[in-house]
Chain A
Amino acid sequence: MVVPRLAALFWQRGGARQRATLALTAAGVAASVVLALLALSVGPALSTRGDHVAWRTAVAVDADQATAVQRTTADRFGDRQITRVDLAPTGRGTPPVPPGLRAFPAPGVVWLSPALAALVAEQPHEVLADRYPGEVVGEIGPIGLAHPDDLVVVVGRPAGSLASSIDAQSRYAAPTSDGVAVPIAGFARHGLTSELELYRTLARMAAVLLVVPTFLLVGAAARLTAAQREQRLAVLRLAGATPGSVVGLTALEILGAALLGTVVGLVGYVAAVPVAAHVPLAGGAFAAEDLRLGAGWLLATLAFVPVAAAGSAVAALRKVVVGPLGVSRAVGRRRPSLLRFLVVPVAWVAFVSSARTMRDGGSTLGALAGLGAVIATLAVIGPWVAWALGATLARLARRPATLIAGRRIVADPRAAYRTVSGMVLAGLVAGFLFAVVPTLRAADLGDGGTAEVAVQLPQDQGAAVRAAVRAADPGSRLVLSDRSGGDPALAAGEVQGYVEASSPAQLDRARTAVLAAAPGALASSYDNGLTYALLLDDLGRASVVMALATLVMASAAIAISTSASILDQRTTLARLRLVGTPVSVLQRARRWQTLLPLVFASSGAMASGVVAGVVMLLAFAVAPERIAEPAVGQLVLLALAAVVAGALVVAATRPLLVATSRSSPRG
């Protein structure tokens, strides 16, 4: 009962300053919770999206059990992808109802997604609507759509009209390939396309990379409160409080503040989801309910975050707990051991081997764990790097500011590293992204803007289609192979070819002309380039969001850590001011103390990120010679931004330094 009573007493008598610090802790925790939960939401939301689109990938059954034939084709309008699903009954049994539709589409009817309906309505019919001959009977519901902007059309075809390729399909290697008619008996309700799977892997990696700095921020916020309490708790120890009650008192105070922060964060998260859902990813925005994490996640957050914050604060107070004189006795120099470097090869070997396993079809979680291990090495070797930098600075220093900064880093290299660890992580993230993205951009994965579309149509309709194409646009032409049959993907009497046009806009007309003239024809334009362009756009956007988020969080963590260290040293700072040390010298020392580890550790982390990115690319089977040079210019800019942010944050804490060092010189 002693601990709660003491906690209540201190809360009551603590005054505005104590409440302000606790409020700051709560605010730090709340911001971290919002960001971490948003980062964690994306993976499950992509899974849900995968479930929504799973039905479009046909699940092949034996031809004699099939109730329908499905042919999914990647269509295109301008630079937007349209998914076209043709469905025909086999005449046996009851065909399945596609998700989002009220009934199996009867022959001659068309279902459009709302976004495609709007697009069709605003374009001349010969440009788009004529591709879908038939009566539009309804709109596809959200359950069958990836997102509200999803362009999907379901075309009902007469029984037997798609049967021509069933036999061909059974001989064809990839039953779910684009444009192949597949006998089906139902629709998949769960699944993930390869694109969404890639997105989900990247989202999980992003979540790992974002969650770590948020917890660093929580830890820093908790330590700030601890710094303010250290002196008071040391006095309590002198007055006879047991280590247990000191720990209990701190834990209780931080637990309260962190619990409040977590609740505020959860409310903030729920409020932020509808806004965050508007950020497009993989072609469209999310539905808010898909992005919202389940109650289990929220409860786990509520249980875990306050405990983690309290643990961090208790760890910060261990000096006080060790002995009543803990705070007045400066600890000796503890040089981190070089043995720490042993973890580096271990982690990299784990990462490379797990990445190799992923390439060979193993779990992505293993590779993510390997990446996590590489990140963790930074925390292990970071203090040694900080110590080495501090020792070098102290040895070379000619001015008081650099001497003080160097000695301070050497005195507590762990704290020096902890201050900038958020930035280090941001460096790693940036290095990773800026190593991967240039290679993806350089990769020749599709025809991009080439104005061409592959067609497959009954040979006897060739002449009519050729005429229709020329009529739609004199600059376009249909080129057909002169051989019919032979190709296992072709049904009897079918012929393959392509349409050439002078521009993408003309190609849209030509494509429409093909499908209007031969409704049974296949005009496929599955375009790797288009998909990857979308992925690259998303990666670019995500890189900016992540870089900004980690930069902001890391800056906040630096602000909180430097504030805590000012409060820690308030007596010494006041004395130094008093004996005539200019604030500028103290401020310069703080700048060196923060920026030196920041610059070196962040650069090292960027380099690690670049190497990790290259390893990942190799794991995704990119040939070494095709790996592009990392975007060094952008990395340098980002490093400069980090240094500027660090300098600004240190500058922003100057008023606290001035106010603290001006405090009463008594004692």
Chain B
Amino acid sequence: MSAATLPPPPAGTWTSAPTTAIRRPRPASASGPAVLVGRDLHRSFGATTALAGVTLAIGRGEAVAAMGPSGSGKSTLLHCLAGIEPPDRGEVWLGPDRIDHLDERRRTAVRRRRFGFVFQSGHLLPELPAVENVALPLMLEGHPRRRAVAEARRWFAPLGIDGLEHRLPGELSGGQAQRVTIARALVTTPAVVFADEPTAALDRTTGREVVALLVQAARTSGAGLLVVTHDPEVAEACDRSVLLRDGALAAPAAPTPAGRR
């Protein structure tokens, strides 16, 4: 993204959307061309096999939930697809670009420019007000501060956190902090948003609201979404789910062929 190009502004207000209204299961083929494809991914930690040949594709605007028991390899799959750690074997394609073999510096740049992240907690800089936390990825990309902050501010109303722009993370509730994180994940209009247990630290109602917002916001901005979760309600909010067991897909999803080389 160049410094002159800002992402399109978010449209509408999503906070009032009921969780049930946004659950629109679609077949994988309806998600359009795959924006991210992991093919035959293997990853081991010593004697422990975390991934044993997983193949997964995420379409543009598609929300995919990765479920499975603890230790099944969900988070490792997210890390490999997001370029946080390279797989031992296999390939990760972001559109036409293979990203698994890039060095750390380039993978960092890919994460910053093309991906958004939402985690369980500890994701906001405690010293920065909410709006500056959201503006940070834009500033990291070279946007002038004033413009970055103005752009960040536009995400607050749609996410239902209007008026909290100048609060510090420590002054926000868990749900409010997650909404700020969603804004930060989407402010750069990423190709894919990765969410690792985004509702684990929230109560059930807040969790449902947050995941609804996340799915809708990602869909509206055209980003693919991969959510790692234990929570069936979260999975239900997504377009489809994949189940991992012992590092392999128990119910493999069909990879989206389009967009691959």
Residues of A within 8 A of B (CB): 328-333, 397-400, 403-404, 407-408, 410-411, 571-572, 574-582, 585, 665-667
Contact = CB atoms under 8 A, between A and B. Distances in A.
B120 A403 contact: no
B137 interface: yes
Given A330-B127, A330-B168, A403-B139, A572 B113 contact: no
A410 B127 contact: yes
Given A400-B136, A580-B137, A331 B113 contact: no
Interface stretch (B50-58, B94-102, B103-111, B246-254): B103-111
A572 B122 contact: yes
Top 6 closest pairs, chain A to chain B, by CB: A580-B112, A330-B170, A330-B126, A580-B111, A571-B122, A411-B127
Contact of A585 (B113, B128, B140, B184): B140
B170 A580 contact: no
Given A330-B171, A407-B132, A408-B127, 13 more contacts: A400-B136, A400-B140, A403-B132, A403-B139, A411-B126, A578-B119, A579-B115, A579-B137, A580-B111, A580-B137, A582-B109, A665-B196, A667-B120
Nearest to A328: B121
A580 B122 contact: no
B121 A667 contact: yes
B172 to A, nearest CB: 10
B145 A582 contact: no
15 contacts: A333-B168, A397-B145, A399-B145, A400-B136, A403-B128, A403-B145, A407-B125, A411-B126, A571-B122, A579-B137, A580-B111, A580-B140, A581-B108, A582-B112, A665-B119
Given A665-B119, A667-B120, A399 B139 contact: yes
Nearest to B115: A580
B117 interface: yes
Contacts of A578: 84, 111, 117, 119
A332 B116 CA distance: 27
Contacts of B119: 575, 578, 665, 667
Given A407-B128, A407-B132, A575-B119, A332 B168 contact: yes
A404 B125 contact: yes
Contact of A331 (B115, B124, B129, B170): B170
Contacts of B196: 665-666
B216 interface: no
B140 A665 contact: no
A580 B113 contact: yes
Given A329-B170, A667-B120, A577 B127 contact: no
Interface in B125-163: 125-129, 132, 136-137, 139-140, 144-145
Contact of A407 (B109, B111, B127): B127
Contacts of A332: 168, 170-171
A134 B116 CA distance: 97
A407 B124 CA distance: 13
Contacts of B169: 330
A578 B79 CA distance: 9
A581 B84 CA distance: 12
A403 B140 CA distance: 11
Given A333-B168, A403-B128, A403-B139, A666 B75 contact: yes
B123 interface: yes
A572 B116 CA distance: 16
Contacts of B140: 400, 580-582, 585
A572 B170 contact: no
A574 B120 CA distance: 13
A576 B121 contact: no
A329 B196 CA distance: 21
Interface residues of B, number: 38
A667 B75 CA distance: 11
A577 B123 contact: no
Contacts of B144: 398
A44 B105 CA distance: 59
B213 to A, nearest CB: 19
B87 to A, nearest CB: 16
Contacts of B171: 330, 332
A98 B41 CA distance: 93
Contacts of B110: 580
Given A399-B139, A579-B137, A582-B108, A667 B170 contact: no
Nearest to B170: A330
The CB with the most chain A CB atoms within 10 A, among B112, B115, B122, B171, is that of B122
Nearest to B200: A667
B128 A581 contact: no
Nearest to A666: B75
B168 A575 contact: no
A585 B84 CA distance: 18
A584 to B, nearest CB: 9
Contact of B125 (A333, A398, A572, A667): A572
B120 A577 contact: no
B111 A579 contact: yes
A576 B184 CA distance: 12
A611 B192 CA distance: 61
B127 A667 contact: no
Contacts of A665: 79, 84, 119, 196
B168 A582 contact: no
Nearest to B110: A580
Contacts of B128: 403-404, 407
A595 B187 CA distance: 32
Nearest to B119: A575
Contacts of B108: 577, 580-582
A62 B216 CA distance: 107
B114 to A, nearest CB: 9
A575 B75 contact: no
Contacts of A329: 170
Contacts of A574: 122
B76 to A, nearest CB: 10
Interface string B67-99: 000000001000100001000000000000000
A398 B145 contact: yes
Interface string B184-207: 110000000000100000000000
Contacts of B129: 407
A580 B187 CA distance: 14
The CB with the most chain A CB atoms within 10 A, among B115, B127, B144, B168, is that of B127
A579 B122 contact: no
A579 B112 contact: yes
A331 B132 CA distance: 17
The CB with the most chain B CB atoms within 10 A, among A574, A581, A585, is that of A581
A226 B119 CA distance: 27
Contacts of A585: 140
Nearest to B149: A403
Given A578-B111, A580-B112, A404 B127 contact: yes
Nearest to A569: B126
Contacts of B120: 667
A435 B102 CA distance: 57
Contacts of A410: 127
B165 to A, nearest CB: 14
A564 to B, nearest CB: 16
A571 B184 CA distance: 17
